[in-house]
Chain A
Amino acid sequence: MRNRLRVLRAERGWSQLELGGRLGVSRQAVNAIETGKHDPSLTLAFRIARLFKLGIEEVFDDDGSVD
């Protein structure tokens, strides 16, 4: 799943550690999400969207894939 996390984070001048602290996850988790190695849970995805004051679909894009 693609996401705009790295761009949104850079716009605010936050490091991965800063964003992780605000979300309650580790820097490694932020990195894994940004690089697409880890798809966040729905709870975390909502927390991320809420932090950036955006809709969840404005942060994450699953290319309309259906499993």
Chain B
Amino acid sequence: MTEQTTKDHAELAQEFNRDEDRVNWHDETLWWIREKRDKSAHQIPEWEALREAASQIKNNVLSNLHDYLVQFERNAAANGIVVHWAADAEEHNRIVYQLVSEAKVNRMVKSKSMLTEECGLNEYLAKQGIEVIDSDLGERIVQLAEEPPSHIVLPCIHKKKEEIGEIFHQHLGIEAGISDPQFLTETARQHLREVFLTRKAALTGVNFAVAETGEFVVCTNEGNADMGAHLADVHIASMGIEKLIPERKHLGVFLRLLTRSATGQPITTYSSHFKKPREGKKIHIIIVDNGRTVQLGRKDFRNSLKCIRCAACMNTCPVYRRSGGHSYHTAIAGPIGSILAPNLDMKKYADLPFASTLCGSCSNVCPVKIDIHEQLYKWRQVLVKAGYAPTAKKAGMQVMTWTLSSPGLYHMAGKVGRLVIKYAPFAVNNKLNPWYTQRDMPEPPEWSFSEWYKQNRQP
């Protein structure tokens, strides 16, 4: 479910920052997770080698994607899994609808799948009269609140427990004013238990699909994917084409990295392997492209497809922590979302690669070593050349370029700039100057260094 909006990241972030206490709370909560990640990583002496191995395995996958996909399809089919191919979101959604229609059900349970968020599956199915209940606790909370997830691993990280109590009061009938996490979790557990027992179709995501064996692995902490899939007659698994790994032994690399990077846990509570349907049950896999092959063809951006969706880049991002996931107005927020989204729609997401200071922390925590901040820089070049830069910025840049490539003009402009600040501070110290809104301007010195140098060092 992606919010329809015309506001850009800067405006949405500004709104988020109106409540500074909430920003502090959001920042500290995610920073705590980043610290847990650090502790966990530092317990593995070979951590950096593990990242390098994961990166290389994924590079191999991306370079041989066609072969691995065909191998996976063949092996999965031999195991009795039905494989479907979807070129885009619409086709994916249509296939899901067709499968639930064939199963003659109008209610489905779904565990976490960012791909279905990307495809807008819930809204699509709702229009077809199919009710979808998200079974991941965080996703269920935002679903009840009619909001998109704000984080790919922690979908309701932007909600405080008091707010969750209020949502449960309104939708699940508990008393008002309850914020005890244990009570709230138990409430959700009872509610979801009834859902699991009555749904005949279950959809899950896929964390890893093993080409060698035709099996796939779903990682959750709540066991909700297993509960849904095991109790349903039909299990539909949606995966992007990049989820492949060549062999089962490679799981050892990725499972060690995934949750340590995500939450600091050594491994997810449940890492469930699905290989073949049980007697009388069905498993379908939908393999989705939706722009991924286009990204694969972009030399500078292809390795963004190595992403295993751990969200470490979000937790470490000082901008994400202080602007909130919804400010990115796309299914996958944060630094990784900012290099994936422009591939889908350059115009709509032109603001996202600029929502970064290029500090580089994201690339350092990435378990598969995606050069995220360098891709942010490269997307800026692509977007500007494609004509998606604001006009004012364009004109300003042109003036700046003329000035800075001419020493004479530069020294003149510098002098004028300093004089303006010195003698007419109102000209810059006003509300139209975004620097000055919350910061003072530097004290203008009497002379520049170049003037001083001429006086003091040159003969």
Query: Do A and B interact?
Result: no
A interface list, Cβ under 8 A from B: none
B interface list, Cβ under 8 A from A: none
